[in-house]
Amino acid sequence: MLKYKIKASLNMKATNIIPIGLYTHEEKNRCKLIHQVFKNGKFVFPDTYLTLKLKKIYYIFSPSILPLPPSVKIYYTIENTKEPYNIIDIQELTDSYDFTGILNIDSKLGTDKNIGIFFGAYRKPVSNTVALTSYVKNTIDKSLYLSENDKLPGDWISKFHSNSRIISPIFFLETSKLGFKKENNICYPDKTSKMSINNCMNSIVPRKINIQEISYTPQLSFQGSGSGGDTCDTRSSLFKTLLIITCIVSLLIIFMSFIFHKYT
């Protein structure tokens, strides 16, 4: 099942920005994120999904975009395997290329939980995005609720719970009709731009790192005046000369003191 979900996500390469439906149960504060379903010859979001209703459609980066734009992370939902199949946690996929690790994650969840979907979204606020805050009940660790409301009324918390970190908020794209612009060698969504995310990423120029900026080891060998030696080499040579002279003078003083005490 998990292999199918991964394959389905990776096959959505047409636009690289794909819709995601947020389904919620307003009274019981349950939610689920799902992709479009194929119905009557086309992909659609049904009005209801089990006991949940379509709340809103957002847009995410397909996991097929590798490498991801800066500040974009790949997340995955952990869901109950029984009805209503709601989200109980959202985790970040730290290594986007480690599909073996993904399978291992799913195998460790047990029979009552499984991985739902993978999606790419921003971890930090940028233009043309919508912030969704994750909430869990103080007394229950079996349900996670996503909301645009950053102060959900009631007995909810959105940062830490049961000694586990809650990833919140997560920033989803508000529309698929977005281009991307490059600022400071980073791609950002922009409604006025016609550049695709692929073209924007391809236009990023890798920064050339000067090794001498990272680490410099001065040359300790003596250099002649015309051999290209620098200031550090000159200072090193002078220091060695002064050190040798100081040692010789110290030895002479000790020797003369010994002679003086011996014959007086």
Sequence ranges of the domains in the chain = 2-203, 223-264
pLDDT computed for residue 20 by the predictor: 95
Mean pLDDT score, 66-80: 84
Residue 88: partners with Cβ closer than 8 Å, 6 or more residues away? 78, 79, 80, 113, 141, 142, 143, 144
pLDDT of residue 11: 40
Higher-confidence residue: 163 or 191?
A: 191
Q: Does residue 92 have a pLDDT over 80?
A: yes
**136 Cβ partners below 8 Å, 6+ apart?**
143, 144, 145, 156, 157, 158, 161, 166
- DSSP label of 205: P
pLDDT at position 143 is 81
Do the beta carbons of residue 90 and residue 123 sit within 8 Å? no
- With a cut of 90, say whether residue 107 has pLDDT above it: no
The confidence score (pLDDT) of residue 34 equals 93
What is the Cα–Cα distance from 103 to 166, expressed in whole angstroms?
Answer: 22
Contact call for residues 242 and 235 (beta carbons, < 8 A): no
pLDDT at 224: 43
**Per-residue pLDDT at 55:** 96
Give the pTM: 0.67
Q: Give the pLDDT of residue 26.
A: 84
* pLDDT bracket for residue 153 (50, 70, 90): low
Cβ-based neighbours of 128, under 8 Å, separated by 6 or more: 173, 174, 175, 178, 189, 190, 191
Place of tokens 């040579």: 237
